[in-house]
Structure formats: structure tokens, C-alpha cells
Amino acid sequence: MSDERRRVFKTYKLYVGGKFPRSESGRVYEVTDSKGKWLANAPQSSRKDARDAVVAARKAFGGWSGATAYNRGQVLYRVAEMLEGRREQFVREVADAEGLSKARAAALVDAAVDRWVWYAGWTDKIGQVVGGANPVAGPFFNLSTPEPTGVVTVLAPQDSSFLGLVSVVAPVIATGNTAVVIASADAPLPALSLGEVLATSDLPGGVVNILSGRTAELAAPLASHQDVNAIDLTGAAGDPALAKELEVAAADNLKRVLRPQAVDGADWSAEPGTRRLTAFLETKTVWHPTGALGASGSSY
């Protein structure tokens, strides 16, 4: 009997509702590295998987959006802690996925961990930046406060399997939204492994749901889904026809659309600013009379 140890191959699964299902279709597709070497079989999600992910995201929305901003920040920081503990795994997966040296992949993974921390710090500050008291002329005052849009479909960038992924997912959930994420079709493994990190952090199941498969096949039903409130088209930056098709479908129920921009894929390591934090926020304005009628108020 040979003493040579056989490698245990990893079975990658979807991450939906805090669980790890295989695609209901039973389909998989081969994922290869930059040189065409086989890495793993990834689940090829179906439209049914996409619908299940929306149901899970909607179920989780009430609790997550109702949590305090401080609590959400703690949860995001915990995700960063868990990523730090699995750093070597992600360095290997990113290097394989993007054809990078180990040193370059390590730099990207470190930047992704830092990006989680950066957004964790913004959770209880963004309200003060984009909200506030409004100057009005009359015997009343009003206040504007940001609120999450709802369930957001996120097309992860195709050119950055991990840092780009984190850069589009973290701001969505930092502001209280829940997400249905379509991973990079050619390099989905870091995204699927991220699901394992999220499951072992304090993030409630359903806040982030991760699907792998053909982007166009999954994005079309999600763009037209009546219970999806917004869509980030970053992952369609290289396919203007698809981006236009999804934008038209999203108009059916007035989804908020974050259009793909060429700058998104230019340098994911650059400081992201607040654009993605505010992209999926709605503003609620509450007015309140002063004086004798100060006991009542309205909002819109």
C-alpha cells in the first residue's frame, strides 16, 4: 500500500439563506486557472436558485435593516477577522483564479480584508454624512435620514475575483440592504469560499446569498424579479448589450440601477469613497411642527 497521501478535493456549493445547497438543477461547470488547468467543479445555478436567493434575502431584510448601525459595523469587522484567519486559503485561490504571483495575490487579499474593516467603520457614520436637519421657513422643522433600499442584486466584477467582489458586496450590506450576488463566471471559487467565511461569522443567514454560474442566465430573471429593489451592473461592464437588457428589465418595477463604469475595474485597490455606500440608500424626510401643535408630525 502506497504511503502517498491523496489530496481531498473541495466540493464548492452555493451560499443561500445561510446554508450550502447544490444547484437544484444538479448542473456543474469546470473552473480552470489562467493556464487552463482544472481547479474544481462549481455549481451552475439555475433560475430557481436565483428565486430562492431572493426569498432568503427578503426574509433576512427586516432583521438586518432593523439592526443598529453600530451592530452592523461589529458584524462586518467580524467578517474581516474570519478572513484574516483564512488568509492563506484565499491567497491560493486568488492566485489560481487570476494567474497572479503569490505575493501579488497576498496583497489583494490583505486589501480585501482592509476593505471590510473600512466599510465596517462607515456603518454608523454614513447617516450623519448624507442625512441631517433641513433649513425651512415656518413653524416646523424637518429631518432627512437615509434608509436601505431593500434586496439588491449584485453582479460581481469579472476582472477581480476577490477584492472587486468585496468592494461591491460590503457597501451594500453595510447600509442595511441584503444581497443576491452573482459571482464572476470564470473565477467563482473565492466568492464561494467567502460564503463559508460569512457563515462562520456573525452575519445572519440570508443577508448575503452567493450564486455561481452564467451571469446572463442568472441576471435576467433577477433584473425583472418584482421583489428585487435594486441592481448593481458592475459585472456587466464588459458586455454593454447585457447591461442595457438588464437595465430595461429593471425598469419594470422601478428598480434602482447602479450602471457599470469603466473606472470600476481600473484599480480596485484605490480608496472607494462613499459612492457605493449611498447608491442603495433612500432618503426619508420627517417634518414636525413646533409650538402648540408640536405633539404631532408627519413623514414622507
- 112 is a domain residue: yes
User: Taking 90 as the threshold, does the pLDDT of residue 300 lie above it?
Assistant: no
Domain at 172, CATH number = 3.40.605.10
Residue 2: predicted pLDDT: 57
Number of domains within the chain? 1
Residue 291: predicted pLDDT: 63
Residue 265: predicted pLDDT: 44
Residue 3: predicted pLDDT: 66
User: Taking 70 as the threshold, does the pLDDT of residue 298 lie above it?
Assistant: no
Range of the structural domain that residue 188 is part of: 28-299
- 6 is a domain residue: no
User: Taking 80 as the threshold, does the pLDDT of residue 126 lie above it?
Assistant: yes
- 41 is a domain residue: yes
- 15 is a domain residue: no
Residue 235: predicted pLDDT: 94
**Predicted TM-score of the model (pTM):** 0.90
Residues of 182-221 as b/e, b for ≥16 C-beta within 10 angstroms? bbbbebbbbbbbbbbbbeebebbbbbbbbbbbebbebbbb
Distance CA 200, CA 192 (A): 13
Q: Compute the average pLDDT of residues 204-219.
A: 96
- 108 is a domain residue: yes
Q: What is the pLDDT of residues 1-25, one digit of tens each?
A: 556 777 788 899 999 999 999 999 9
Residue 286: predicted pLDDT: 81
- 100 is a domain residue: yes
Residue 271: predicted pLDDT: 87
Q: What is the pLDDT of residues 177-200, one digit of tens each?
A: 999 999 999 999 999 999 999 999
Q: Compute the average pLDDT of residues 60-89.
A: 97
- 1 is a domain residue: no
- 48 is a domain residue: yes
